[in-house]
């Protein structure tokens, strides 16, 4: 059994938060769906450096899954997660039930996401970001953190979280953290647990293609680059969902290179859906 403090209820979280307030101690917040890996740990360590306490939420949010099989297959490894957090000072876990996080009449009023919510993940996972907004709204209200840490691996999610923070008037500062990769280049993800040896190799086409696009910047047109990148990707066993070069602010597709752009990829590797991006 792990010795990490785990809070399960909104009431206990409220008490924990109040105690910090009484002692003028700051709180950093790292929301996760568990199956923790070094990507999550990098967020937790950054929060631990910058705050007196860090709260890590572990909750597989059913509202953000548009595919029931994906929800069923999502890894749930709470005991192993707690073991991984063992030894981290001033870290507390919040692992609520669905009923705790979504009480009846939770006062949530959906926001209009606009075009940023309709492209990329929004186009391929209808309802996904609406579910993300709902859970982050309820978590932010309960946790009342000084700062919250999110990975750039989920770049569009980060943009939407900045949007919702402004929209609902949360005081929490949003901190973006870089994508942590395996030595192979594969972006760390809880979903990687479901890849077999061959699929782990096959999945490297994602970072290979992203790096190819980066190297083509200003050498070829965006249109040519996308065509060549798709051809490269099609040599793999992965099924491409989208490959897009977009503006990092608006997430609108670009027809000309800019100083900064982000290339985003989503693809299926066997039964596992993977996303990654490169900002350059």
Catalytic residue numbers, as ranges: 40
CB under 6 A: which stretch of 14-22, 95-103, 122-130, 179-187 binds ligand AMP?
179-187
Q: Which stretch binds ligand AMP (CB under 6 A): 48-56, 90-98, 138-146, 150-158?
A: 150-158
Rule CB under 6 A: is residue 177 a binding residue for ligand AMP? yes
Question: Please, what is the minimum distance in Å from the beta carbon of residue 157 to ligand AMP?
Answer: 6
Exactly one of 57, 190, 209, 225 binds ligand AMP (CB under 6 A); that residue is: 190
251 strand-pairing partners:
none
List the helix and strand counts (H, then E) for the chain. Answer: 11, 9
* Residue 172 sits in the site that holds ligand AMP (CB under 6 A): no
150 binding ligand AMP? (CB under 6 A): yes
In the complex, least distance from residue 182 CB atom to ligand AMP, rounded to whole angstroms: 9
Of 71-79, 99-107, 149-157, 267-275, the segment contacting ligand AMP by CB under 6 A is 149-157
Burial environment of residue 241 by CB neighbours within 10 A (0 to 12, 13 to 18, 19 or more)? middle
Does residue 93 belong to the site contacting ligand AMP (CB under 6 A)?
no
Q: What are the start-end ranges of the H helices in the chain?
A: 10-22, 38-50, 68-73, 78-85, 98-101, 121-124, 128-143, 155-168, 197-202, 204-216, 222-234
Are 279 and 248 contacting, i.e. CB atoms less than 8 angstroms apart?
Answer: yes
Count other Cβ atoms within 10 Å, centred on residue 277: 23
Among 53, 151, 192, 195, binds ligand AMP (CB under 6 A): 151
- For residue 53, CA distances in Å to 88, 92, 101, 171, 214 come to 10, 8, 21, 17, 38
Residue 4: Cβ within 10 Å count: 17
Among 156, 179, 192, 236, binds ligand AMP (CB under 6 A): 179
CA atoms of 47 and 50, how far apart (whole Å) = 5
Residue 43 within binding range of ligand AMP, rule CB under 6 A: yes
Residues 178-201: b if buried by 16+ CB within 10 A, e if exposed = ebbebeeebbbbbbbebbeeebee
Least distance between ligand AMP and beta carbon 254 (Å): 23
Q: Shortest Cβ distance from residue 9 to ligand AMP (Å)?
A: 21
Shortest distance, CB of residue 268 to ligand AMP, whole angstroms?
17
Size of the site for ligand AMP (CB under 6 A): 17
For ligand AMP, which is the closer residue by CB, 226 or 265?
Answer: 265
Is residue 32 near ligand AMP by the rule CB under 6 A?
yes
C-beta of 111: minimal distance to ligand AMP in Å? 19
Q: What is the CA radius of gyration of the chain?
A: 19
Tell me if 209 contacts ligand AMP by CB under 6 A.
no
Q: Quick check: 85 and 4 in contact, CB under 8 A?
A: yes
CB atoms within 10 A of CB 209: 26
Does 188 contact ligand AMP by CB under 6 A? yes
Q: Which of 125, 134, 137, 153 binds ligand AMP (CB under 6 A)?
A: 153
User: How buried is residue 157: exposed, middle or buried, by Cβ count under 10 Å (0-12/13-18/19+)?
Assistant: buried
Q: Which residues sit at the interface with ligand AMP, rule CB under 6 A?
A: 32-33, 39-40, 42-43, 150-151, 153-154, 177, 179-180, 187-190
């Amino acid at each position: 059994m792990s010795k990490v403090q785990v809070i399960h209820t909104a009431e206990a979280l409220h008490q924990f938060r109040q105690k910090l307030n009484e002692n003028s101690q700051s709180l950093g917040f790292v929301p996760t769906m568990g199956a923790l890996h070094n990507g999550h740990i990098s967020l937790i360590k950054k929060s631990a450096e910058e705050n007196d306490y860090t709260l890590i939420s572990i909750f597989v949010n059913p509202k953000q899954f548009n595919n029931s099989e994906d929800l069923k297959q999502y890894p749930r490894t709470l005991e192993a997660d707690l073991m991984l957090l063992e030894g981290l000072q001033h870290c507390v876990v919040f692992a609520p039930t669905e009923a705790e996080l979504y009480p009846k009449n939770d006062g949530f009023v959906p926001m209009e996401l606009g075009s940023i919510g309709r492209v990329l993940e929004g186009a391929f996972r209808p309802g996904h970001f609406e579910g993300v907004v709902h859970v982050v709204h309820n978590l932010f209200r309960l946790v009342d953190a000084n700062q919250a840490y999110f990975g750039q691996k989920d770049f569009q999610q980060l943009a939407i979280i900045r949007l919702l923070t402004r929209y609902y008037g949360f005081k929490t500062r949003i901190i973006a953290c870089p994508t942590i990769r395996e030595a192979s280049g594969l972006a760390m993800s809880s979903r990687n647990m479901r890849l077999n040896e061959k699929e782990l190799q096959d999945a490297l086409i994602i970072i290979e293609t992203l790096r190819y696009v980066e190297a083509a910047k200003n050498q070829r047109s965006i249109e040519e680059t996308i065509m060549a990148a798709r051809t490269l990707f099609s040599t793999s066993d992965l099924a491409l969902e989208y490959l897009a070069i977009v503006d990092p602010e608006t997430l609108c597709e670009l027809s000309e290179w800019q100083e900064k752009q982000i290339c985003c990829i989503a693809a299926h590797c066997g039964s596992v859906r993977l996303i990654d991006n490169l900002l350059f």
